[in-house]
Structure formats: structure tokens, C-alpha cells
Amino acid sequence: MSSILERSLKVLEHLAAHPDGKALSTLASELEMPLSATHRLLSELIRCGYVRQDQSHGDYVLTIKLVSLGLGFLSASGVVDIAQPLLDRLASESGELVRLGVVDGDELIFVAKAQGATRGLRYDPDMGLSVNLSCSSAGHAWLSTMSDERALELVARQGFGKPEDFGPRAVTSVKSLLSHLKATRQRGFSMIVEVFAPAMTAMAAPLRDNAGAVIGVVTIAGPLVRLTEKRMLELAPALLSTTRQLAGASGASALLKKRAA
């Protein structure tokens, strides 16, 4: 049963990363699963309403049922009601993309966002995905709250970034990562320039509950042409103020309260 469940989740996760869908043979090949077993799983997922088969070309695609479940969970948790006004205000002040990530075990997941850019280039990467720890401002902010040993353990599981997958200044070594974490601890927030993506910058601060436990991060990200290092330093007080206000309100959200437990 566990094997069937694991395979089903792999299918769902793979289709989530490919919204245009996948052919049966391609899906089986990429997941290294037998064709017949893949077909049976897809048939069950179709029966349960999580997958549908596109009638025009036969590819399998996710339905919105998973999206509905996720949004329903966030709504019931109260995190959006608590965080959104604060994220909106910070986005308006910064003029950039602001996001809230929450700690989920050994991962960091973005669950809410606010877009402050009203014109020009807008930076808006995918939500709901596990945050890359070595090459993101969010990852650096979270890792900075741990010992170096624990931070390196989490990054080792995920792997370091590569410049061809991230930015030209991607963190590719232990030495580079520890240097970023040291600077983050000294400032109280992280700053990266062309680390996650070319011509993009970001900053992030850890979010703690009233007892001091780290439950998430708040980030500001945007194009280097606007969000310069000088501009990030100017925005630091507003970012840190937002995390403090979120911390004070975290007890009203079941999701954030649980992360602190």
C-alpha cells in the first residue's frame, strides 16, 4: 500500500510541475515506472477527480481539486487573513514582490504573497514549492537561525545550486554558504544579488513566534535595476517591522501556531 501511495504522490507532484500535461509513456519513463502500473494509477487518480485526460491529444493533466484543497487549507488555517494585510502594506511600500514562507518540517514553503510592482518588470516565481535553501534569500534567512552544522545538513540533502540553474552568483560551496549565513546573522536579514536568478535581487528576515521559535520568513524580491543593495538596506526596517507584527499575530493562525509547536 505504501508503495502505491508513494507512486501516486510522485505522479501528482510530477504533473504539478508540468501544467500542460504528460503523455502516458513519457510520464512512465520520467518516473521510471512500468507503463501498466502508471496507467492503473492514472485511472484511479482520474476516478478520484485529481487527474483528467485531455481529449484532444490524450495527455494527462491535473484537475484543480488539489488547488482547491490547498486553498481551502490555507483559508481554514487563518494564515491568509492574518498575513495578507501586512504583506500588502510591505509590498506597497517596497514596490516589489513580498512573500511569506512557513517552515514545514525540514522544508520552507511559500504560502502567501503580495505584488507591489504596478508597472514595468514584475518578478513572480511559482508558489507552493519547496524553497531552494542554498540560492534563495528565504533559505539564507532560515538557515541563519540554525547552527552551521544543521544548516549544512539541510542543504546537503537538497544539494547546492548551479549557476546554469540559478544566477551567476549561485552559492555552490560550503565556504560561500557559510559566508552568506554569517553576514545574514550580523544584519538580522539576508541579501542576495543575482544568486537565485540573473539580474534579480532579494532579501528576507526570519519570522519568530512570541516564544522565539522560527516559524517562517518574509521576503522582498525584485529586479536588480530597482531593488539595489542600497534600496534593500533602506527597506530593512520595514521588513523587520513586518516580521515583528506577524509574530505578534501568529497565535491567531492555526498554521503558524502549529509550526511553533
Q: Which residue has the higher pLDDT, 239 or 56?
A: 239
Amino acid present at 127 = M
Is residue 78 scored above 70 in pLDDT?
A: no
What band does 75 get if pLDDT is binned at 50, 70 and 90? Answer: low
Is residue 3 scored above 90 in pLDDT?
A: no
Residue (of 87, 83, 138) closest to 109 by Cα position: 138
pLDDT tens, position by position, 138-168? 999 999 999 999 999 999 999 998 889 999 9
What band does 134 get if pLDDT is binned at 50, 70 and 90? Answer: very high
Is residue 1 scored above 80 in pLDDT?
A: no
pLDDT tens, position by position, 203-228? 999 998 877 889 899 999 999 999 99
Rounded Cα–Cα distance for residues 122 and 120 (Å): 6
Q: Is pTM, for the whole model, over 0.75?
A: no
Is residue 65 scored above 50 in pLDDT?
A: yes
Burial of 12 from C-beta contacts in 10 A (0-12 / 13-18 / 19+): middle
Residue (of 190, 134, 128, 181) closest to 157 by Cα position: 134
pLDDT tens, position by position, 79-122? 666 788 899 999 999 999 999 998 888 889 888 889 987 665 55
Amino acid present at 28 = A
pLDDT at 261: 47
Q: What are phi and psi of 239, to 5 degrees?
A: -65, -50
For residues 223 and 121, the answer to whether their CB atoms sit within 8 Å is: yes
